[in-house]
């Protein structure tokens, strides 16, 4: 047993993808300052983020080049250049993209004897001003995201806009998005530099949530790439999704929304035929607020989103259903089985489940501090928690066996819970040297819990009144006789998954003439706890209601850790570290 567990842990460790490499959260503005085509050395270049007042100052080198990194992604920025003997030049409306350099060449004019007026132009009017792309990418800013139609407010509706992306909207697809034909589990997803990808790989597309793990209103910039030529971006084979959250500015800003859907908004008549519409209600609402704590120095942004609702379950008994009755199963039969379970086994089956409850909570908070003009600190926290109730062992018609209905106690809650935190310090030490230091934490829990709790076995009862099998033959229920299931499903009696990640990154940037040299090192420590043991509380099958009443199970399955008989002792517990480093 011990060798099998160790082998299972080793195989799982090989399957789990390595930790994602460093993710950029900032932008760069660079260029060459010239006069009449000749480089201007020792010119002072000041870059100001108009919204927050954040300033960055650098000086051109002997070749007239300048490079300012660690800037907020987005903008707009105003770039001002002053040099002895020249009029001041100013370029406005410079907008940057995360992880990509904005090339901004600036031409100075000689000052006149009167001093000469300042020259002010917009970046869009400069023919050579442009973003230097690192491969094909889809980039969306906050304004563009706000104009995208998304009924579910799901991040996948942004991902699908990339020309390499494909959304699987089939009932079994889980709205997974694949890139360039690769399996969706090979995508990488990062928020403010933290890889929040599903480490274990149980979700259909690698995301740690059924919808977006963050509120859409909190996104400052969205980026999707399939082939970036950047040594820092690796460990993915599909798409690399990078999200930078909004930061507060010197002005207060807020948004809010409320959406409601339900049976009152659904038509119930087709010509002269009235259609029965089951009762349901879904509410989705949220808000975002940002602004200054100390003007030009300290800023905040908070956003939250909540969904509460559910959809009706169509399957049920002949008398109690929403369009899909289980053939041959009456409500009286279900009530009889529930009564026997209570009187003989002292267990409440929960009855027929009528609604698939659905909830989703997302919260983010961010603090930005301009410690000095050369040092900027940001702190980010994200929380996501989603859960939906799902049926088990329910089949309307079965071509190969009996139809069946799982009662409420056989249903389960499937969901995800995510906490992340990141602290990042960007420092400029000289005109040619800057650093980025980042520490982050991620805690992920996969939720797989019986709807009415654990502590009981799974019971499957054939609705034949008496056993129709001769002697001790066990061939299962008659083809047309439904099976009613209750109690925690055999795969949910012991089922828990938790991962915890600690990590850090140090990145240095060194400018040598026209060369920009970067060195980075990233370290991650990942702990995994996976407890999955089928039938740990037992799985009973009864060939008839009479056998069920008389406690005469026809089949029984049981599994546990030996010799302790403690299910958690069979869990896979392991830990691994990764070190990524590179030079570019």
Query: Tens digits of per-residue pLDDT, 391-436?
Result: 999 888 766 568 899 999 999 999 999 999 999 999 999 988 999 9
Which range, of 8-17, 162-171, 318-327, averages the lowest pLDDT? 8-17
pLDDT (0 to 100) of residue 471: 55
Angstrom distances, CA of residue 205 to CA of 168, 176, 201 = 10, 5, 8
Q: What is the pLDDT of residue 49?
A: 93
In a domain, 308, yes or no: no
Return the closest-CA partner of residue 194 out of 27, 427, 20.
Answer: 20
How many domains does the chain fold into? 3
User: Is 445 in the same domain as 572?
Assistant: yes
Annotate 109-124 with DSSP letters as a single string.
-B--TT----EEEEGG
Is 139 within 8 Å of 97 (Cβ atoms)? yes
Has residue 205 been placed in a domain?
Answer: yes
Same domain? For 156 and 89 the reply is: no
Helix (H, G, I), strand (E, B) or coil at 208: coil
Q: Is 286 inside any structural domain?
A: no
Look up residue 10 and give its DSSP letter: H
Q: How many CA atoms lie within 13 A of 218 on its CB side?
A: 28
pLDDT band of residue 10 (cuts 50, 70, 90) is very low
Do 63 and 20 form a contact (C-beta atoms < 8 A)? no
pLDDT of residue 399: 61
**In this structure, is residue 201 part of a structural domain?**
yes
Residues 492 and 539 in one domain: yes
Length of the chain: 584
Q: What is the mean pLDDT of residues 212-228?
A: 91
421 domain-assigned:
yes
3-class secondary structure, 145 = helix
| Mean of pLDDT values over 37-44 | 92
pLDDT attached to residue 386: 94
- Assess whether the previous peptide bond of 76 is cis (omega < 30° from 0): yes
Q: Give the position of tokens 């799902």.
A: 390
Minimum mean pLDDT range among 141-155, 344-358, 457-471, 520-534: 457-471
Per-residue confidence (pLDDT) for residue 414, from 0 to 100: 93
Measured between alpha carbons, how far is 205 from 165 in angstroms, rounded to an integer? 12
C-beta separation of 56 from 428 below 8 A: yes
Whether 378 contacts 349, CB under 8 Å:
no
- Assess whether 433 and 465 both reside in one domain: yes
| pLDDT exceeds cutoff 60 at 22 | no
- Domain co-membership, 50 together with 147: no
Of 204-213, 216-225, 492-501, give the lowest mean pLDDT range.
204-213
Same domain, 9 and 140: yes
Looking at the structure, tell me whether residues 32 and 72 fall in a common domain. Answer: yes
My answer on whether 52 and 173 are in the same domain is: no
Residue 211 is part of a domain; what is its CATH number? Answer: 2.170.130.10
What's the rounded mean pLDDT across residues 65-93? 90
Domain that holds residue 233: 1-23+134-246
CATH number of the domain residue 72 falls in = 2.60.40.1120
> pLDDT category, 110, cuts 50, 70, 90?
confident
pLDDT of residue 117 exceeding 70: no
Among 294-298, 470-474, 479-483, the range scoring the smallest mean pLDDT is 470-474
What pLDDT does residue 468 have?
A: 64
pLDDT at 7: 39
User: Which residue did the predictor score with more confidence, 268 or 368?
Assistant: 368
Stretch 258-268: mean pLDDT = 86
Pairwise CA distance, residues 154 & 386, whole Å: 13
- In this prediction, residues 280-285 reach a mean pLDDT of 91
Interval 155-192: pLDDT, tens: 899 999 999 999 888 877 778 898 988 888 888 899 99
In a shared domain, residues 128 and 138: no
The answer to the question of residue 469 being in a domain is: yes
- Looking at the structure, tell me whether residues 91 and 144 fall in a common domain: no
Q: What is the pLDDT of residues 541-552, one digit of tens each?
A: 999 999 999 999
Question: Is the same domain home to 9 and 39?
Answer: no
Q: Which has the closest alpha carbon to 366: 380, 353, 376?
A: 380
As given in the structure block, the two tokens for residue 89 are 């030049």
pLDDT at residue 6, rounded to an integer = 38
- Give a yes or no: residue 419 inside a domain: yes
Q: Are residues 450 and 320 in the same domain?
A: yes
Distance CA 59, CA 68 (A): 10
Cα separations (Å) of 33 from 62, 128, 159, 233? Answer: 10, 13, 38, 31
Give 3-state DSSP helix, strand, coil % of the chain, rounded to 5.
Answer: 10, 45, 45
In a domain, 37, yes or no: yes
Give the integer Cα–Cα distance in Å for 405 and 582.
56
| Mean pLDDT for the chain overall | 87
pLDDT at 322: 65
């Amino acid at each position: 047993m011990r060798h099998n567990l160790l082998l299972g842990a080793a195989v799982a460790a090989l399957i789990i993808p390595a930790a994602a490499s460093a993710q950029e959260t900032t932008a760069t503005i660079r260029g060459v300052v010239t006069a009449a085509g000749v480089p201007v050395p020792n010119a002072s270049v000041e870059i100001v983020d108009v919204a927050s007042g954040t300033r960055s100052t650098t000086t051109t080198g002997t070749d007239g080049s300048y490079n300012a990194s660690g800037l907020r992604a987005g903008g707009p920025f105003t770039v001002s250049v002053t040099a002895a003997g020249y009029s001041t030049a100013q370029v406005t409306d410079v907008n940057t993209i995360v992880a990509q350099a904005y090339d901004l060449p600036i031409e100075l004019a000689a000052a006149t004897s009167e001093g000469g007026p300042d020259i002010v132009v917009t970046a869009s009017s400069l023919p050579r001003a442009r973003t230097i792309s690192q491969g094909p990418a889809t980039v969306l800013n906050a304004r563009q995201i706000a104009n995208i139609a998304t009924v579910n407010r799901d991040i996948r509706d942004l991902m699908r806009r990339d020309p390499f992306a494909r959304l699987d909207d089939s009932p079994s697809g889980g709205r997974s998005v694949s890139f360039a034909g690769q399996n969706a589990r090979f995508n990488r997803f990062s928020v403010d530099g933290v890889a929040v990808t599903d480490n274990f790989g149980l979700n259909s597309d690698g995301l740690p949530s059924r919808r977006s793990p963050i509120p859409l209103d909190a996104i400052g910039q969205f980026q999707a790439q399939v082939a970036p030529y950047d040594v820092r971006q690796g460990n993915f084979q599909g798409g690399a999704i990078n999200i930078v959250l909004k930061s507060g500015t010197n002005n207060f800003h807020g948004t809010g929304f409320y959406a409601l859907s339900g049976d009152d908004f659904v038509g119930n008549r087709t010509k002269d035929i009235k259609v029965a519409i089951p009762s349901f209600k879904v509410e989705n609402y949220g808000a975002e607020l940002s602004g200054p704590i100390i003007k030009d120095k300290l800023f905040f942004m908070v956003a939250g989103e909540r969904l509460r609702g559910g959809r009706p379950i169509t399957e049920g008994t002949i008398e109690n259903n929403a369009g899909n009755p289980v053939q041959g199963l009456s409500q009286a039969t279900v009530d009889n089985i529930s009564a026997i379970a209570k009187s003989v086994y002292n267990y409440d089956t929960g009855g027929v489940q009528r609604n698939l409850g659905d909830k989703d909570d997302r919260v983010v908070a961010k603090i930005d501090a301009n410690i000095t003009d050369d040092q900027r600190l940001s702190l980010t926290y994200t929380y996501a928690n989603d859960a939906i109730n799902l049926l088990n062992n329910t089949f309307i018609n079965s071509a190969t066996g009996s139809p069946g209905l799982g009662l409420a106690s056989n249903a389960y809650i499937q969901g995800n819970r995510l906490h992340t935190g990141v602290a990042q310090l960007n420092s400029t030490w000289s005109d040619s040297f800057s650093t980025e230091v980042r520490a982050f934490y991620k805690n992920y829990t996969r939720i797989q819990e019986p709807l009415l709790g654990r502590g009981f076995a799974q019971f499957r009862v054939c609705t034949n009144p008496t056993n129709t099998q001769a002697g001790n033959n066990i061939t299962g229920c008659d083809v047309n006789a439904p099976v009613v299931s209750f109690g925690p499903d055999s795969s949910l009696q012991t089922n828990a998954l938790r991962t915890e990640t600690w990590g850090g990154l140090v990145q240095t940037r060194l400018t040598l003439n026209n060369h920009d040299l970067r060195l980075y090192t990233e370290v991650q420590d990942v702990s995994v706890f996976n407890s999955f043991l089928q039938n740990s509380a037992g799985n009973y099958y009864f060939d008839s209601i009479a056998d069920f009443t008389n406690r005469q199970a026809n089949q029984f399955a049981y599994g546990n850790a030996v010799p302790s008989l403690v299910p958690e002792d069979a869990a896979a517990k392991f830990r691994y570290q990764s070190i990524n480093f590179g030079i570019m």
